[in-house]
Amino acid sequence: MAHLVVSTGSIVTGVALLGVIVPRFKKVFERHRILERLAQQDEFEQREYVAATPECPRPDRWRMVDPQTCEVEILEFLRSLVTTVKPQLIVETGTFIGHSAIKMAEGLKANGFGRIITIEFDRAAFAKAKERIDASGLAEWIEYRKESSLEAKIEGTIDLFFSDSQLLTREQELRHFLPQISPCGLILVHDASSEIQKVREAMLQMEQEGLISTVLLSTPRGLAIAQKKEGRK
């Protein structure tokens, strides 16, 4: 009789791989479920219901429109940040259905200058975002693209970079765009809570490498705010 031999190392590797793959497909499924619901009913604000974390023990004090779009308070923060730092060029990865791009465009309109390039790879999400942006009255401030963020070619210096795409690509995106980000610019990466360790660990690793300096905000899903170190005076 043949014996099946499985090494401890193989088991550990398999478990680690599942830990990366399962959340990824769960997130993709959730995105499509939200899109299906939007086809049947309007959006509405509700209390945030992600799990509590040591840094954010009361997530229910925040609001959300869906589990994929960043918290309502973060959307408001993005608009205020744009009117505060006056970016000429904003790059967003992970448009989803357009909420954050529209909020930042409101800030650009208030400033009277600037533009956003927002990138979404998912076909269904991009179609919904395009529809929403076109109807927002802010389309002149937003350039939407359906493409891979890792293959995107951006001309000019990026003053504000906001990453809210697939979890597995956040670090790759930041490393891809970092040379183009202004030393005086800001880097924002969503989903940086201790519950979602992938993003948090990537930001801390890049800080340890001397590439960025970062601050972790204690919001339900977490928000990292960083600046690159190279060229900063």
pLDDT at 14: 46
In 3D space, the residue among 199, 229, 205, 230 whose CA is nearest the CA of residue 217 turns out to be 199
Identify the segments of the chain with pLDDT beneath 50: 1-6, 8, 11-26
What pTM value is reported for the model? 0.84
pLDDT at 18: 43
pLDDT at 35: 66
Q: Which contiguous run of DSSP H or E holds residue 161? A: strand 158-163
Please spell the DSSP secondary structure of 60-99, one letter per residue. Answer: GGSEESSSSSPPHHHHHHHHHHHHHH--SEEEEE--TTSH
pLDDT at 29: 53
HSE-CB of 51 using CA atoms within 13 angstroms:
6
CA dist 31 and 165 (Å) reads 11
User: Does the domain spanning 63-228 belong to CATH 3.20.20.70?
Assistant: no
